[in-house]
Amino acid sequence: MNMPSPKNTVKLTEQAIKAIRVTEKPQKFSDERGLYLYVTPTGLKSWRYDYRVNGKRVTLTFGRYPDVTLAIARRKHLEARTALASGTDPAQQKKIQKLERSIALSNTFDDVAKAWFGGKEKRRSAVWRDTHGLYLRRDLSPFIGRLPLADITGETMLAVLEKTRERSGPKTADRVRQTAAQVFDYGKRKLKVSVNIARGLAGWTDGEMPAKQHRAWLKASELGPFLAALDAYPGYLTTKFAALLLLLTFVRKKELIHAKWVEFDIDAEIWTVPPERMKMPTEEKGRRHAGHHVPLSKQVIKILQELQPLCSGSVYLFPSNSSLEKPMSPSTLNMMLKRMNYDGMLTPHGMRATASTILNELGFRGELIERQLSHVERNEVRRAYNHAEFIEDRRAMMQSWADYIDEVRANSAIGVEKT
């Protein structure tokens, strides 16, 4: 093995470096205080710095010439000596920085987002998966997907959000920000980034966001006129049945219009809404949800018995008018309410608020109402230990609610006849 020849004493300048001739042996050209240019027999030139730590010799390389000029080499040499004087080994520091860069390059936004999404998707609803998946795929990944998470600045994130705002409006853009914020939160927990720049942009749409509109619902005094108008509605009987079932069960619209006959156990007087159609995690802390159990009142069972012959053998309670293999359109109930002149006064989702409000006013226990609404317990401790279904208590409540609807409906009909 050929050893480098003794250090040359040529004063290093750019001109002197270019004039160096290659020899059969490696050469060292000294600059100052341990900095030198190392030249191989093949002509490769690199900057090196020899120093000692705890009595051991260490060699630190600064890069190849001419990529690293003489001036840059001297600056790097000064930084290394300064670090050494403060008790830091510059070679060890360089290794750590190289490792950090390597880790950062492997921790791109896409990498972290994939890990975050993959760890949650099995415990989240289809709506959650579709929504966050779209924001990641359409709004975030094309612009910052390949950037290391720690290298994404607030200015970059704001530019991405502004682009989304121009296309989809401020409300959607802020939802995209919230998705990004959850990715950054996950990155912080995994020590991949120290600052959540997406959360730092909270409020960036101030003054642009439309006022939050609650879905319209009916007060107890407004329920009678609505039921009278529903009875008088000249549209499809199946659509009227759908509205009544929403009011009697107060499930979500999607849970109803996609309902299949196989989900109903008439003998047991129970309807099990499968978890994948619900607005809740399908699995939580290792416990898979069996779905939402809806006790069926006698009035609901009667509607189901009248409805089944109208379905022409479809698997759906409410098949589309164009195909028995598809469920009713999501807009059908909204259009019915509009034609009944209830547009802006009531929405399908508002029937849940109507039922909840009136039942609370009637003195029913809040926990029964919340369970019937299939609301997820916000307190994580209670959610982890409270798996109570309250089936029998809810069955009694739902029968009372159906009886109440019948009474209001009958009184409304009498009122119509008197006028």
CATH topology of domain 220-418: hpI Integrase; Chain A (1.10.443)
How high does pLDDT run on average in the chain?
A: 85
Residues 284-297 have a mean pLDDT of: 70
CA-nearest of 135, 119, 124 to 189 is: 119
Is 349 one of the annotated active-site residues of the chain? Answer: yes
* Sequence ranges of the domains in the chain: 14-90, 109-201, 220-418
Tokens linked to 138: 């359409």
Q: Which position among 252, 277, 289, 293 bears the catalytic label?
A: 252
For 190-244, how does the pLDDT look when each residue is reduced to its tens digit (9 = 90+)?
888 889 999 999 988 876 655 555 568 899 999 999 999 999 999 999 999 999 9
Q: With 0-12 CB in 10 A as exposed, 13-18 as middle and 19+ as buried, what is 47?
A: buried
What pLDDT was estimated at residue 8? 58
pLDDT-based confidence at residue 412 (cuts at 50, 70, 90): confident
pLDDT-based confidence at residue 399 (cuts at 50, 70, 90): very high
Is 252 one of the annotated active-site residues of the chain? Answer: yes
Position of tokens 């698997």?
315
For 112-132, how does the pLDDT look when each residue is reduced to its tens digit (9 = 90+)?
999 999 999 888 878 888 899
Residue 386: pLDDT above 50? no
What is 109-201's CATH superfamily?
Answer: Tyrosine recombinase, N-terminal domain (1.10.150.130)
Residues 363-390 have a mean pLDDT of: 68
Tokens linked to 83: 């670090």
Q: Which position among 292, 349, 371, 394 bears the catalytic label?
A: 349
Is 94 one of the annotated active-site residues of the chain? Answer: no
Q: Which position among 18, 171, 288, 375 bears the catalytic label?
A: 375
134-148, 163-177, 371-385, 403-417, range with the lowest pLDDT: 371-385
Task: Give the whole-angstrom CA distance, residue 122 versus residue 283.
Answer: 7
Residue 162: pLDDT above 90? yes
Maximum Cα–Cα distance across the chain: 118
Cα-flanking dihedrals φ and ψ of residue 74, to 5°?
Answer: -65, -35
Is 385 one of the annotated active-site residues of the chain? Answer: yes
Which CATH number is 14-90's, of 3.30.365.10, 3.40.50.2300, 3.30.160.390, 3.40.50.2000?
3.30.160.390
Position of tokens 């009227």?
240
Is 285 one of the annotated active-site residues of the chain? Answer: yes
Q: Which position among 21, 56, 214, 285 bears the catalytic label?
A: 285
Q: Which position among 122, 137, 302, 385 bears the catalytic label?
A: 385
Q: Which position among 352, 371, 394, 409 bears the catalytic label?
A: 352
